[in-house]
Amino acid sequence: MSDCQPAILQPIPALARYASYTLLPDSDPRAALRRLRGVTDGERTFAGIGQSLVSALGREIPELRAFPEFSGRGIDVPSTPAALLLWLRGEDRGELVNRHRGLDGLLSGAFRCTQVIDAFTYDGRARRDLTGYEDGTENPRGRKAVATAVSRRKGIAGSSFLAIQQWEHDLHRFEAMPRREQDHCFGRRRSDNEELDHAPASAHVKRTAQESFDPEAFVLRRSMPWAEGERCGLVFTAFGASFDAFEALLRRMVGEEDGITDALFRFTRPLSGAYFWCPPLKGGKLDLSALGL
Ligand code: HEM
């Protein structure tokens, strides 16, 4: 039986590197993918495959599609697809840089790295966003986490579907708000992480209350803060057995249902958005049989 890549069900690591790749024109990715299969354990080195790569191989993966663009009032949610994503997880930045260089070499005949995001954990066990709010509290756990994030569909059992967006925060703008207003953006109190009963309808946890959707819209979030020079934000990272729950959540965040936009947009914006199929593991190796490999 196939298992999912273990990183999906694990807490976020101290450090990570998200590396996106494009497929080089007129190249055959098969040999590079076979090499990648040999070194991807799904835990320290995690791989996601984009729609363009699947179609370059003449295949189809059920549920996989391109990331949709969304627009709300004054809000653009971009779609920036990639052929391949590596999520390199570890504790030592030097080791991550060198591991990434090694993988780049291994993929170089067919792929080119187009973007690197260095990410980290903020405040150890609390796993905070850079605003200081705890992120991941309402994540499903145990068997529910597995049911939420891992597909049992015949032919791709053990697969997961990853939605990823790089958000850039304007923390000066956020910090200029009084604390009560900040708490109302999230719908939780930063001081003790308690959910606020009387938060406005625009509060993030009101917009995204997973049980309030029909069907319920649970996702398994493994987001990590990022920073580069003066810029910073969150790499929103969510796994599902399909993309349906993520899309329902995002539609409500941009106000498609009732015209109310998520208060997060007052201080943060998505710069990117991409979907990936995360193949299962078989015998501890990436199982690419659905791609004919
Ligand atoms: C910069 C972007 C974002 C930040 C800083 C952020 C932060 C947070 C925080 C602090 C919480 C409350 C604690 C928790 O339950 O984790 C939360 C909850 C949640 N967020 Fe986000 N989030 C962001 C984007 C998104 C996006 C794009 C989605 C989905 C499309 C999303 C889905 C959720 C869900 C499902 C919950 C739990 C709601 C519930 O059932 O109570 N978030 N987020």
Best of 67, 164, 205 to mutate for ligand 1, by most ligand atoms within 8 A of CB?
A: 205
What's the predicted TM-score (pTM) here?
A: 0.98
Q: Per-residue confidence of the chain (293 residues) as pLDDT tens digits?
A: 469 999 999 999 999 999 999 999 999 999 999 999 999 999 999 999 999 999 999 999 999 999 999 988 999 999 999 999 999 999 999 999 999 999 999 999 999 999 999 999 999 888 999 999 999 999 999 999 999 999 999 999 999 999 999 999 999 999 999 999 999 999 999 999 999 999 999 999 999 999 999 999 999 999 999 999 999 999 999 999 999 999 999 999 999 999 999 999 999 999 999 999 999 999 999 999 999 99
pLDDT at 72: 87
Q: Domain spans of the chain?
A: 6-291
Counting atoms of ligand 1 from 1, which one is nearest the CA of 135?
Answer: 16
Residue type, 12: I
Q: Is 258 a catalytic residue?
A: no
Residue 126 has a pLDDT of 87
Q: Whose CA is nearest to atom 12 of ligand 1?
A: 135
How far is residue 210's CA from residue 215's CA, in Å, rounded to a whole number?
Answer: 9
- Tell me the C-alpha distance between 201 and 29, whole Å: 47
Q: How far apart are CA 264 and CA 242, in angstroms?
A: 24
Q: What's the gap in Å between 138 CA and the centre of ligand 1?
A: 9
What was the pLDDT predicted at 125? Answer: 85
Q: What is the pLDDT of residue 2?
A: 64
Tokens standing for 176?
């200029």
The contacts of residue 268 (CB under 8 Å, 6+ apart) are 167, 168, 169, 170, 174, 233, 234
Protein residues whose CB sits closer than 6 Å to any atom of ligand 1: 129, 133-138, 165, 167, 186, 188, 204-205, 208-210, 219, 234, 236, 246, 249-250, 253, 264, 268
Report how far apart, in Å, the C-alpha atoms of 87 and of each of 191, 223, 291 are: 31, 12, 20
Instruction: Name the residue of 12, 133, 208, 275 to mutate for ligand 1: max ligand atoms within 8 A of Cβ.
Output: 208
Residue tagged active-site, from 135, 183, 262, 287 = 135
Task: Report the CATH architecture of 6-291.
Answer: 2-Layer Sandwich (3.30)
